[in-house]
Amino acid sequence: MADHAITSLVVQGTIREERRSIRPARYVTDQFQEKGHDAELFDMKDYEIPLFTNRRDMTNDPHPDVETFGQKVEAADSLVIVTPEYNHSIPGPLKNLLDYLYPEYEDKPFSYVTVSAGGFGGVRALSHLHDITLELNAHPGPDLPVSRVADVFDEDSTLLDDTYEDKFEAFVKQAVEHTVQFI
Ligand SMILES: Cc1cc2nc3c(=O)[nH]c(=O)nc-3n(C[C@H](O)[C@H](O)[C@H](O)COP(=O)(O)O)c2cc1C
C-alpha cells in the first residue's frame, strides 16, 4: 500500500470511435493502481449520459447514470481527467458530463492528461479545464500533455515511447501529492 493511498476517478473525455486517448486513460489508471491507489476509469462509453437538462442537485429524478457518476465523484478523493483536445477545447461530451454536477466537486483536487495526434499535447483543452475546475470550486493540479499519442501507446495501452514512463510516474506522484493536501 502507498504511504498515502488515495481514491482516484479517472474520467475519459471522449467516446469517439477509434479514440486514441483511451490508451493513456487505461495506462494511467493502471499506474495509480500499481502504486497502491484505488483508481477507477469512468468511461462514458460504458454509460448512457443524456444531453444535459438539469444538474443532479437540482432535480429529484436524475438519470441513473448521472446518479452513478455523482456518487463516484463524491466517493473519490481526486479526479483525473484524460481528454483529447477537440477544436481547441474539450470534447462536448466531457463538458456535458461535467456540467451535471457542481457541489460534488467542491474542494476536489483535479489533475489532467491531455492528448493530441500532433505536437501540442492538447494544451488548449488544458487551459479550458483549468478555467472549468476553478469555476467548480475545485483545485487544479498537475498535468501531463501527451503529443503524438499514436507513437506513445499501442492499441493495448502498452507504452511505445519509453520517455513517457518517467513522465507518467512523475505525474502520478504529483497528483497524489496534490490530492493529499486536501483530504
Ligand atoms: C472533432 C475533432 C477535433 C479535433 N481538434 C483538435 C485540436 O483542436 N487540436 C489538436 O491538437 N487535435 C485535434 N484533434 C485531433 C486529436 O488530437 C486526435 O483525434 C487524437 O488522436 C486524440 O483524440 P482521440 O482520443 O479522439 O483519438 C481533433 C479531433 C477531432 C475528432
In this structure, is residue 175 part of a structural domain?
Answer: yes
Q: Is the residue at 172 inside a domain?
A: yes
Residue 111: what are its φ and ψ, rounded to 5°? -140, 170
In a domain, 18, yes or no: yes
Residue 150: count of CB within 10 angstroms of its CB? 11
- Residue 149 Cα: closest atom of ligand 1: 21
Assess whether pLDDT exceeds 70 at residue 1. no
Asked if residue 90 is part of any domain, the answer here is: yes
Per-residue pLDDT band for 2 (boundaries 50, 70, 90) equals low
**From the CB of 16, is ligand 1 less than 6 Å away?**
yes
Q: Cell for 155?
A: 492499441
> Quick check: CB of 87 below 6 Å from ligand 1?
yes
Mean residue pLDDT across the chain: 97
CATH of the domain at 141: 3.40.50.360
Q: Tell me what pLDDT residue 69 has.
A: 99
53 found inside a domain: yes
The proportion of the chain whose per-residue pLDDT surpasses 90, expressed as a percent, equals 98
Structural domain containing residue 172: 7-180
- Could you tell me which of 102, 100, 106 has the C-alpha nearest to residue 54? 100
Ligand 1 atom at shortest distance from the alpha carbon of 18: 27
Indicate whether 60 belongs to any domain: yes
Question: Is residue 164 one of the residues assigned to a domain?
Answer: yes
87 Cα nearest atom in ligand 1: 8
- Separation of 99 CA from ligand 1 center, angstroms? 21
Please write the tens of the pLDDT for every residue from 79-111: 999 999 999 999 999 999 999 999 999 999 999
In a domain, 2, yes or no: no
- The preferred substitution site among 44, 86, 113 for testing ligand 1, maximizing ligand atoms within 8 Å of CB, is 86
Which residues are within 8 A (CB) of 176 and not within 5 positions of it... i.e. 6 or more apart?
Answer: 2, 4, 6, 35, 37
Q: What is the pLDDT of residue 172?
A: 98
pLDDT of residue 10: 99
State how many domains the chain has.
1
**Quick one: which of 152, 51, 62, 39 has its CA closest to 95?**
51
Please choose, from the candidates 15, 12, 24, 11, the residue with its C-alpha nearest in 3D space to the C-alpha of residue 146.
24
pLDDT, tens only, 138-151: 999 999 999 999 99
Question: Which of 27, 85, 153, 155 gets mutated to test ligand 1 (max ligand atoms within 8 A of its CB)?
Answer: 85
CA distance 76 to 12: 15
Which atom belonging to ligand 1 lies closest to the Cα atom of 22?
25
Summarize the confidence of residues 142-164 as an average pLDDT: 98
List, for residues 38-95, the tens digit of each pLDDT value: 999 999 999 999 999 999 999 999 999 999 999 999 999 999 999 999 999 999 999 9
**What pLDDT shows up at residue 3?**
72
